[in-house]
Amino acid sequence: MALPVSLPEKYKIVQLDSAITAANALDCDIISCKNAHKVWFVVSHGGASDADLTLSLVESTDVTGSTTTAVTAKVPIWVDADAGASSDTLVKQADAASYVINTGSSVEQLVVIEWDPAKFSAGYDCIKLSDSGGGGSNVVNAIAIIETRYPQATPPAAITD
């Protein structure tokens, strides 16, 4: 018999930003992966502008971002390219180092980017979501879901070292 799983005890959920216009760079919290098995970045994109938005990951040596570099490793990505309609299906994309939300097909999209801490470059153990492009009338919400190494009633903070 499987033990019951409590989402907040097994997975740390971190609000990375809240309703940021996609014309502005995401200024997401940097996540420490010292206590993480995996991290999923979940991005909800909506609005009215046909201005593509590129999402990518940046690794850091600490949560202050004093030393950062773009992630070049290919990572798993899933997309619901028409989340504003009646779709709720995440479709696996080819693994890539970034993903472009093509707003020409549908502005309202849901993107999940998976990060495995085993892919860090030597000396790095923190990660954040970054972007470029986007339109001023579009809105982005992003959260991180972190599978913790040691499930507990109150998982440790992920935005501190």
Domain ranges for the chain: 7-148
**Residue-level pLDDT at 156:** 83
Q: How are strands ordered across the β-sheet holding 109-115? A: 11-21, 138-148, 36-47, 109-115, 77-80, 91-92
Q: Does residue 122 register a pLDDT over 90?
A: yes
How large is the average pLDDT for residues 6-29?
A: 77
Q: Which helix (H) or strand (E) holds 92?
A: strand 91-92
- The span from the CA of 61 to the CA of 69, in Å, is 9
Between CA 24 and CA 139 the distance in angstroms is: 10
Strand partners, 79: 91, 111
**Distance (Å, rounded) from C-alpha 161 to C-alpha 158?**
7
Residues 6+ away with beta carbon under 8 Å from 112:
40, 41, 42, 43, 77, 78, 79, 90
* CATH topology (fold) of 7-148: Jelly Rolls (2.60.120)
Least Cα distance to 130 among 29, 13, 18, 62 occurs for 29
Mean pLDDT over 32-53 rounds to 89
pTM to 2 decimals? Answer: 0.91
- As a whole number, the mean pLDDT across the chain is 88
